[in-house]
Amino acid sequence: MSNDRVRQWAVDHLGQQVGDGECFALVDQALRNSGDKSAADFGQVGPNVDYVWGTATTLASLRPGDLIQFRNYRVRVVTVTVRRTTLPDGGWDESTQTQERTDTRPHHSAIVDAVGSGGEVTVLEQNVGGVRRVQRNTLTFSGSTNTTSTTAGNVTTTVTRTVTVSGTLRYYRPVAR
């Protein structure tokens, strides 16, 4: 299956720079070395083009070896942890900690390595964060808010995680030559 070959080719190059280190080079070479069509077979190729990498698919049907084209992707994850301690007199003491993480892919291409739950997808990509070698990263593609609470003795900890995703993501399945 094309998807397996594309994914495996990228995995075999983890930690290496493919071509000029651009994200396009990784996806292009993985497809070509797997006997599949590349972006040039579907339309224009250039520094600001949203590439078509194969047959369009959806996030819901995404599988390893599929391809993703990003445009202005931004994910913001805010985690708020509230720890409330009940005191012997019935009062309470509360502390709040907030952590925020933002990840972006302004104009980017990547290969799907694994599909997780809750909109999380592990990708194989290069030219991210100034690193021009193939790397594996987990990204979130679906917004959500989840709250969990746990109590241990007189301490209740409530964690709320809010994920906001913006930008355009296009998903493709490789097409054999």
What pLDDT, in 10s, does the model give residues 122-136? 999 999 999 999 999
Low-confidence ranges of the chain (pLDDT < 70): 1
pTM of the predicted structure, to 2 decimals = 0.89
How high is the pLDDT of residue 64? 98
Q: The tokens of 144 are what? A: 């959500």
Residues in the chain: 177
Q: Any residues with CB less than 8 A from the CB of 115 and at least 6 apart, and which?
A: 62, 63, 64, 121, 122
How high is the pLDDT of residue 130? 94
Q: Any residues with CB less than 8 A from the CB of 172 and at least 6 apart, and which?
A: 52, 53, 54, 55, 56, 57, 66, 67, 68, 69
Domain segments of the chain: what residues?
2-173
3-state secondary structure 125-172: ECCECCECCEEEEEEECCCEEEEEEEEECCEEEEEEEEEEEEEEEEEE
Within 10 angstroms of residue 52's Cβ, the number of other Cβ atoms is 20
CATH architecture of the domain with range 2-173: Alpha-Beta Complex (3.90)
